Amino acid sequence: MENHSDYAKEVFTIEAQAIQQLSDHLDSHFDATINLILSTKGRLVVTGIGKSGLIGRKMAATFSSTGTPSFFLHPAEAFHGDLGMVSKEDVLLAISKSGETSEILQLIPFFKKQKISIIAISAEQDSTLVKNAQCFLNISVNKEACPLDLAPTASSTATLVMGDALAMALMKARNFKRADFAQFHPGGSLGRKLLTEVKTVMHHKNLPIVLPTTGIVDLINTMTKGKLGLVVIQEDHKIVGIITDGDLRRVMKKKQAQFFQLAAIDFMTKNPIQIQSNCKIKEAETLMVDKKITSLLVVEKEQLVGVVQIYQVA
């Protein structure tokens, strides 16, 4: 019986080698490409057809979300009105393994007439596309992972990785930060953490608050009703301590005989860690992880306004 996983491993090896080979292809054209894109006042227009087009769409999405304005132009649709999306300040990134894709070559006169620079991603240095480009990024491979050496596999992987290398180099050159990334991904986890303030997710109703003199029975009842696994100890409207359910279990085990004679002041943690309500939830998460705690007291002008817990910010 044929072992299909053995062939899968061969595919992995072939494609990994294709990626490694890209390093040998890099030359001054890569730096020139980065500088060209950085200097443009317009957008990076990505085009390609077939498998190259699918990868081009992914490239355009990656560029746009990492600080390089970009869009995908389908070469066939370009001749039916979509060329109107292109401005003279744009740069074209054209993807064609052969460099002879007819739909791509038909675009060249338009871009040359508009004096728009062309970046070619191709496996053929002597192709028509490359000869008409200002920059050439070589994605040639020794062989495809396809058993017939026909279907774009290793070459399409190399193309994808070349696009990622461009996008990441541009990110670094632009000093693109996590907060910038969040601005373009407000619906994602990172965007939520970096843009959302603690006060929007904190618990703020019926907070479990007791006095330093509160006895153990009332303390337990307040903690149970609060459903946060803690009580906040306040005196004269000022936070003086906190007791968690873990603190309660530990003192119960340690002082069994005196347990019911205890008051909050006897075993509370003084000066509990606090966070301002307008801080971002990423800050709250980092603080809780660093301090190895699961809850933070949220304050405004030194007054308790809520409690935020680790599951709300993770």
Q: Rounded to whole angstroms, how far apart are CA atoms 80 and 111?
A: 16
pTM for this predicted structure: 0.64
User: If you write DSSP's letter for every residue of 89-125 in order, what string do you get?
Assistant: T-EEEEE-SSS--HHHHTTHHHHHHTT--EEEEES-T
pLDDT for 6 equals 87
Give phi and psi for 298, each to the nearest 5.
-100, 130
190 to each of 183, 185, 231, how far by Cα in Å? 10, 7, 31
Query: Quick one: pLDDT at residue 186?
Result: 54
Reported as a pLDDT band with limits 50, 70 and 90, residue 190 is low
CA dist., res. 22 & res. 140, Å (int): 8
pLDDT band at 80 (very low <50, low <70, confident <90, very high): confident
> What is the C-alpha to C-alpha distance for residues 211 and 252, in angstroms, rounded to an integer?
19
For 204-220, write each residue's pLDDT tens digit: 999 999 999 999 999 99
Would you give the DSSP letter of residue 66?
T
Report the percentage of the chain scoring pLDDT > 90. 75
pLDDT higher for 46 or 178? 46
Take residue 312 and report the two structure tokens written for it: 């709300």
Residue with token string 């050159």? 173
Query: Residue 78: which pLDDT band, with cuts at 50, 70 and 90?
Result: confident
What is the homologous superfamily of the domain 4-176 according to CATH? Glucose-6-phosphate isomerase like protein; domain 1 (3.40.50.10490)
> pLDDT per residue over 130-159, tens digit each?
999 999 999 999 999 988 878 889 999 999
What does the block give as tokens for 44?
């990076």
Which pair of tokens denotes residue 308? 């935020």
- Indicate the CATH number for domain 198-313: 3.10.580.10
Q: Would you list the domain boundaries of the chain?
A: 4-176, 198-313
Determine what percent of the chain is predicted with pLDDT higher than 70.
94
Please give the helix or strand (H or E) that residue 240 lies within, else none: strand 238-244
Taking only the tens place, the pLDDT of each residue in 164-188 is 999 999 999 998 877 666 666 555 5
What is the 3 state secondary structure string of 287-303? HHHHHCCCEEEEEECCE
